[in-house]
Structure 1
Amino acid sequence: MKSFDLISDLHLDFYVRDYWDWDKEVTPTAAQIIQAFAESIIPDSPSSVLVIAGDLGHKNSHSQLLLTFLAKKYDHVLFTNGNHDLYLFPNEKEHVIYNRSIERWQELKEMASEIPGVTVLDGNKVTINDVTFGGTSLWYDYTFGLKLGYSWKKLDAYWFSHFNDSNYITECPDFAEEMKKLDAIFDSCDVVITHVSPDDSRVNPRYRVDPMTSFYYFDGSEFLSRAKGKVWCFGHVHYRQMYINRGCLLVNNALGYPGELPFVKAMRVPLDKHDYYYGVTDDVENKE
């Protein structure tokens, strides 16, 4: 059976935050903690491919070390960035090094390219054992809130006043450009990876009338109409799900923040249709 392992929203900094030292790249203690963290998310019988659907952490040197450890256990590690991989915090070393969020992301891509077995997905694709993986981070487009009746102006004001992205990202990815990146590779991919979900039809009931939900999804209906037979991996929303929409298997296996959800390892995602078309369950392990 062909398969790969999936996880997202690692938020590494929250798991090693007591061991930060912003005057050094990685302290010995932090390195040990990161290695232990990496080992903790690897299943007992891992696949040969690990997919990370964004949000490694806030510090590139820590993300680099995490990827290095994971690449020792997997033949291939594929990842795209999430919004937290663009964060720059005032008065911390990352903000001193980079003036813009895109500079931080560019450095992480360069770091990752030097690790054997690691592939960054940023509008590109890679074929492994006859399976083509491709993706990009993508971004949210306010569609959810517009459908609730909010104006773009009100949603934008709400974003500025309530969402951390407005405080810690110097410039957000260009949504139209992200859509172009995905469109260029989509039809030839078996597995699609984005950080942001393309489908708001399965929003956590708790947030179905919350304007904040506008910043967690984009309208991917045009892509979903072409997605039959594909697997689409996403993260961003910390709500684990596995369900089928228009013949496409959509999967979220977000780790999330410590204590937010039960701790989870990377999950095995089958690539043989008969393995996932029967017995697929929604909202995997979401315990409030």
Structure 2
Amino acid sequence: MKVDVVSDIHLDFWVTVKVDESLHRQAVSLFIEKIIPKQPSDILIIAGDMGHYNFQNALLLNELSHYYKYIFIVFGNHDFYMLNSNYFEKFEKDSMNRWNEMREIIDAIEGVYVLEGNKITVDNVVFGGTGGWYDFSFGQMYMHATLPRIKKAWYKLSNDSRLIKGEPTDVIKFSNCEKEKLFSIINECDFIVTHIPPLLPRLLNNQYNDISNSFYYMDIGDHKEKLSQKTWIFGHTHVRKDLVAYGCRFVNAPIGYPIEGEIEKKQIVTIEV
């Protein structure tokens, strides 16, 4: 089976928001033409962080649905962001309200599905996942940092602490809820999709003394021993990876930000399993 994979699109960094919807749709279409493979697969996985504006994400998904029979999506941290006072007012200072609106938009687009503790079978292949959430475990395990020190760094260094409101800001509790969803389906999945990657040595980027890594990974405990023959699609780190650990193939195919490289070098990736 061939599957197309992408994450961290951050659409509004690449496509300027326009008042005229027709012009905006054209701009989104041109963006898609730059990143889509010459021969798209039937299935696209988006591992979180579409963009900061739901209406713009809707344009993206509607256009992508013309190319793909199935699109599977999990949320990323930026899908919770509220960038201005209008968003704060509209969503009542609760990032989950923004994501719930996005879910309703997705549910209305044929062939596009949210993975959030559920699984979907296509041609006898099981896709499942959820966005996941970091749990500060990196700092505790690799730097022996105390939880208060890690939380202080999070408030100082992470935009999540400023631009996300509501449930996700109770980091440990929200992470535990997300892991509970994931662990309830992980054994049955052929493809696992999360935004947050699991905390595994081979997925780290050789920055073992950077406390901000505490905001990028989640500890999956003994579940790593049960991943053989699976494929795990993730995002968040903006470093492209395709490697095997614990018998599982891990793939990250971020678009990222313009400052990180030209769009022509950041196409959606096709993998075959």
Question: What TM-score comes out, normalization by structure 2 length?
Answer: 0.93
Mean Cα displacement is larger for which, 73-82 or 196-205?
A: 196-205
Superposition map of 1:266-277 within 5 A: 266-271=268-273
> Corresponding residue for 2:255?
255
Q: Secondary structure at the match of 1:187?
A: helix
Shift of 1:30: 2.0
Q: Following the alignment from structure 1 to structure 2, what is the Cα–Cα distance between the partners of residues 267 and 223?
A: 27
4+ residue segments displaced more than 4 Å: none
Q: Following the alignment from structure 1 to structure 2, what is the Cα–Cα distance between the partners of residues 188 and 203?
A: 26
* 1:164-211 Cα deviation digits (max 9, x unpaired): 000000024311111111111111110000000003413223x32110
Shift of 1:119: 0.5
> AA paired with 1:160?
Y
> AA paired with 1:162?
L
1:162 to 157, 162, 181: 157
> Corresponding residue for 2:205?
204
Superposition map of 1:58-73 within 5 A: 58-73=52-67
Q: Secondary structure at the match of 2:116?
A: coil
> Corresponding residue for 2:87?
94
The 8 Å contact of residues 53 and 195 in structure 1, kept in 2 or not, is answered as yes
The percentage of aligned residue pairs carrying the same residue is 36
Q: Following the alignment from structure 1 to structure 2, what is the Cα–Cα distance between the partners of residues 58 and 180?
A: 27
Q: Secondary structure at the match of 1:242?
A: strand
Q: CA RMSD of the aligned region, Å?
A: 1.3
Mean Cα displacement is larger for which, 171-180 or 43-52?
A: 171-180
Query: In the alignment, is residue 120 of structure 1 matched against residue 119 of structure 2?
Result: no
Superposition map of 1:163-182 within 5 A: 163-173=158-168, 174-182=174-182
The 8 Å contact of residues 144 and 200 in structure 1, kept in 2 or not, is answered as no
Superposition map of 1:1-288 within 5 A: 2-17=1-16, 19-21=17-19, 27-91=21-85, 93-99=86-92, 100-147=94-141, 148-173=143-168, 174-201=174-201, 202-205=203-206, 207-262=207-262, 263-271=265-273
* 1:91-117 Cα deviation digits (max 9, x unpaired): 3x3323111100000010010000001
Q: Following the alignment from structure 1 to structure 2, what is the Cα–Cα distance between the partners of residues 29 and 94?
A: 23
Shift of 1:162: 1.0
> Corresponding residue for 1:278?
none
The 8 Å contact of residues 241 and 251 in structure 2, kept in 1 or not, is answered as yes
Mean Cα displacement is larger for which, 174-183 or 4-13?
A: 174-183
Shift of 1:20: 4.3
Question: What TM-score comes out, normalization by structure 1 length?
Answer: 0.88
The 8 Å contact of residues 141 and 215 in structure 1, kept in 2 or not, is answered as yes
Q: Following the alignment from structure 1 to structure 2, what is the Cα–Cα distance between the partners of residues 104 and 268?
A: 30
Shift of 1:251: 0.7
- Alignment: residue pair count: 263
Q: Which has the higher helix share?
A: 2
